[in-house]
Amino acid sequence: MEFVGSFSGGPPVLKKFQIGEAMATNGVPVVVGGAGNEGVALAATTTASDLVGVTAKIQATLLTAQQTDNSDPARLVTVVVNPDAMYRARLSGGATSGTDLTALTVTTASTDGLTVSVSGTDFSSPTQDEGTVYCITGANAGVSRKITSVADGAATVTLAFPNDIAVGDTFFTVPFAPGEDQFVQLTTTLDELDASVAVDTDNNNFRVIELDLNGVGDSYATVVPFDCIWAAGGSI
């Protein structure tokens, strides 16, 4: 993920911190290391409590012992620390960054534009209820709607798509909708969002403020931190 702005309109504030573990991927959230840790630690895929910020320049190797050349073993990472930062992250179709989202092909038409029906797809497991469905191809291409109910084979919306949904149209879903009390799950390398999981209202890492939906390989979300240590009260 990368810094794309802040609510205050200011530039990224960059600070350096000693690392407490190896950090091999850039653009990932780091959190307070805690007692007994040499420095900041990586967040987890489902939590970023006590967020310090998101890395802007990595130092991959962790050293703790004295060096034979007497050089300083401290290794630092540069972090964007704005508590009101906005970050843009690619949407991955699985736990591995770079995975495409799954395109779903409509098998039953909807003449009222309210139901995306896909045989063999259970939208309730993992649940996409209150997530977003986006039309890739067909008369509604480029249009998204919030999902309001799900079932095995059907994702239903309350605000109709502008055109009928035809057999052969393709869609994908993502497990969040801007403006909802929801959180994200990160990929294993922590730099993208895993959009193959269920809608999540229990984590405390990032909330989605905007979706930029395009194709299965080039869709993005803008997220904001939920529990940043630099914000008043510990979270924004």
pLDDT of residue 233: 56
Cβ distance 199 to 129 under 8 Å? Answer: yes
Residue 60's pLDDT is 65
Q: What is the pTM of this model?
A: 0.91
Which letter, b or e, does each residue of 147-178 get, where b requires 16 or more Cβ atoms within 10 Å of its Cβ? beebeebbbbbeeebeeebeeebbbbbbbbbb
Per-residue pLDDT, 101: 98
Question: In Å, what is the CA distance from 130 to each residue of 51, 156, 199?
Answer: 26, 10, 7
Is a pLDDT exceeding 60 seen at residue 2? yes
More confident residue, 66 or 106: 106
State pLDDT tens for residues 181-230. 999 999 999 999 999 999 999 888 999 999 999 999 999 999 999 999 99
Query: In the prediction, which pLDDT does 178 show?
Result: 96
**Could you tell me if residue 195 is left (phi over 0), alpha (psi between -120 and 50 degrees) or otherwise beta?**
alpha
Region 107-115: mean pLDDT is: 98
pLDDT tens, residue by residue, 134-188? 999 999 999 999 999 999 999 999 999 999 999 999 999 999 999 999 999 999 9
User: What is the pLDDT, as a whole number, of residue 70?
Assistant: 78
| Domain locations in the chain as residue ranges | 2-85
Query: pLDDT at position 236, please?
Result: 44
Quote the pLDDT of residue 59. Answer: 64
Token digits of residue 23: 């950090």
CA distance 220 to 5: 15
Amino acid 235: pLDDT: 46
